[in-house]
Amino acid sequence: MGKERAVQLAYSEFQGAMLDEAKRRRKAAKIIAVLGHFLGRKPGEALDGMTVADIGCSAGFIADELASAGARHAIGVDIDVPGLRKASERFGDRVTFLCGDGTALPFPDGSLDALVFNHIYEHVVDPDAVIKEMHRVLSDDGVLYLGLGNRLGVMEPHYKLPFLSYLPPGLADRYVRLSGRADHYHERFRTRGGLRRMLRDFHIWDYSLPVLATPDRFAGGELFGGPAGRAAQATLARTPGAALRGLLPVVPTYLWVATKTPRAPLGDDLPQPPRPVRTP
């Protein structure tokens, strides 16, 4: 077993952010709000009656919130055994937790109504294989939520080092070692174009700008704190869509909703509406 894969087996043990319950639950609220808008459902009913799986669930906070949002069956999948143990101890009465590899998901074809894959792809050895598996297990009318870090985002999100993700692996390793924050840089981000290619078998809608422009609508209040943050939000809401779309290649995170068959968002009109992402 390679070093990268071995390290990921206990990710929550060395990335404390995975155990930040308040932050993880805020992320879950955003995920649920985006899915609810896409599906045209009322707040509090976003996932009613659905079988939903969080792929890369770690300590289970997001999976627990999916259960609270009305999911008929909420499932968490990960290879992080310590994280799964914590999750099962706290939430196992209403969430099913499975130790499983994303490249061989333990579900029949087309059996899941919704999937969440939130800031996971950069950690796995073969993200293309994981995406292929999620396509297999998602139902024809199912939805896949994707939180995707961008290689061209200036500040690397895990180690808070500028331009770290821009570097080739050898230089990135040296950078994190010199910073004293890690011995090795395992993560592998892709650009917007690379992500589009990775998801070429899906139909995708981009919610990145809608969430940035109307964070309160999508439980994204943590994105803009204080007066300066509120001023930035107001500016985004007034900025013409064409100008904002010009910034998409360098935004730090993409929030996409993907489906296997062509579908359009059913939610209310927004100042910055979601837009389709063209895939190769």
pLDDT at 241: 66
CA distance 217 to 255: 14
Mean pLDDT, range 235-263, rounded to an integer: 83
Positive or negative, the CA dihedral 66, 54, 109, 136 is positive
What is the rounded CA–CA span in Å between residue 178 and residue 172? 10
d(CA 194, CA 81) in angstroms, rounded, equals 30
Average pLDDT score over residue span 123-143: 96
Share above pLDDT 70 across residues of the chain, in percent, rounded to a whole number: 85
For residue 85, pLDDT over 80 is answered with yes
Per-residue pLDDT tens digits for 172-219: 999 999 999 988 999 999 999 999 999 999 999 999 999 988 888 898
In 3D space, the residue among 156, 159, 160, 131 whose CA is nearest the CA of residue 144 turns out to be: 131
Contacts of residue 180, defined as CB under 8 A and 6 or more positions apart, other chains included, come to: none
Distances (CA, A) of 12 to 15, 57, 60, 272: 5, 10, 11, 35
> Element (H or E) spanning 101, and its range?
none
| pLDDT (mean) for 258-272 | 95
Query: Which has more confidence, 43 or 172?
Result: 172
Summary mean pLDDT of the chain: 88
**Which of 14-23, 62-71, 112-121, 162-171 shows the lowest mean pLDDT across its residues?**
14-23
Q: Please give the structure tokens belonging to residue 219.
A: 């439980």
> Cα 75 to chain center, whole Å?
16
Q: What tens digit of pLDDT does each residue of 10-39 get? A: 455 455 555 688 888 999 999 999 999 999
Is the confidence at residue 93, as pLDDT, over 80? Answer: yes
In this structure, are residues 96 and 72 in contact, taking their beta carbons and an 8 Å threshold? no
Say what the pLDDT of residue 127 is: 96
Whole-prediction pTM value?
0.89
Domains, the chain, ordered by start: 3-151+189-277 (3.40.50.150)
